[in-house]
Every structure is written in C-alpha cells, then in structure tokens.
Amino acid sequence: MRSVQKSGNRIYFHEYADFEIVWGECSHSFPTHIHESLCVGAVTGGRAEFVMNGRKKILSAGDRYVIPPYAPHSLSSIGPEKFNYFVLCFKNKSARARSKFNGAVADAKTYIEASRPFNIAALSKAVHISKYHLVRIFKEQVGITPYQFYIGSRIKKIRQGLRANVPLPDLAFDLNFSDQSHLCNTFKKHMGLSPMQYACSYRNGQSSAGAN
C-alpha cells in the first residue's frame, strides 16, 4: 500500500464487491453528508467530534458508531489534534431505505444525479412543486438539502472518474466545476485528500487479491 503523506492526512480506501473499507489518520473536518447504505465505524486513536442527526458526541479511541442509511452526519478532528478511524460501508441499498422517498423527492434525486448545474428553481420546476416545499421534504426524507446532495453526488462521480483514470480537466468540465482548481478544492474539503492522493490511496479488493 502506497502511503499518502503530503497533505498531513493518511487515508486509505479499499473496495470490494459488497463493501468498502476506509481507514486512516487525519486532522480534518468532514462536512455533513449521508451514505445510502449502512456504515459502521470506530475511532482507533485520538479523539474526534461525531455529529449525527444534530446530536454531538466526542469519540475517543475504542468508541464505535453506526450510521444508518440517509442519516446526516459529520466527523471532525478536535483542534489540530489528529485522530485515527476505521469505517466499513456496505454497498447494498435496502428496499426499505429506497421506499422512503415520495415521487417528488425520488424525481429530484434522479434530476440532481444527472450532472446538471445546480439550480433550485429549475429543479423545483422539474418536479412540479415550490422550491421551499421541495427543500423541506427533501431534507426530511434524504437527510440533507438538495444542494448538499448535489455536492455529494459530484464527489461520488469524481471518485468514479479517478478510478477510471479520467483526466481532471475532463472531470471538471463534465461535472460543471468552474475549473480544475475548483474541483480539487471541493474534493479535498469533503475527502480530506487531493484527487491525486485519493487515486494513490485507492485499492480494489479484487485487483489486489494476493498482494502483500
């Protein structure tokens, strides 16, 4: 496994068919986001602030946490102090989680995921409800606002593009970033690593089977 050193954070991603493992040491504040399937994690060193559904908790080494699908949460270092963590995210999206969305919210998710530039007025027009009502019911059902979901969708697509060796300028253009620098800054804010560092730290469980 190649080490990621330059940013001060060391975070690794190991993907398998049914789950992904993320672990590392960092001093970073991961913004509020969701996962579409169940995740379980633990702080293995240092301390971190964990917020889920608006409830804050300080986690120390040995503390574990469970993140249900679509539960808004964040994980942050405490001051400059680094923490170590481990997260296991399952990929299977439960039918129960998918069925929680009404027609307008399901349509809004599909519209946002289509990589259009974000525009709340255009989005509300597309799903035929007012933008204020849309934001309210979207956050109630998805856990975050439509714009936060849009950012998360773009981060997911950047990760997919990096794994497929798509050049950064092409990703920036396709995902409606103003330029490559804008993409890199947004990615690092949410992932704790630059796109290049992520590409170096990522491993696929199938391709690395049998590696030391």
pLDDT tens per residue, range 100-138: 788 999 999 999 999 789 999 999 999 999 999 999 999
| Residue 64 lies in domain | 10-94+150-204
Comparing CA positions, the residue from 3, 30, 20 lying closest to residue 200 is 3
pTM of the entire structure?
Answer: 0.88
The pLDDT value recorded for residue 209 is: 39
Tell me, yes or no, whether 137 and 196 share the same domain.
no
Domain count, the chain: 2
Is 125 found in the same domain as 34? Answer: no
Q: What is the pLDDT of residue 204?
A: 72
Strands 10-15 and 202-204, by their bridges, are: parallel
Same domain, yes or no, for 121 and 176?
Answer: no
Could you tell me the CATH number of the domain that includes residue 176? 2.60.120.10
Q: Does an H or E element contain 112, and which?
A: helix 103-112
pLDDT at res. 18: 92
- Judgement on whether residues 138 and 154 belong to the same structural domain of the protein: no
Q: What is the pLDDT of residue 189?
A: 97
For residue 28, tell me if it sits in a domain. yes
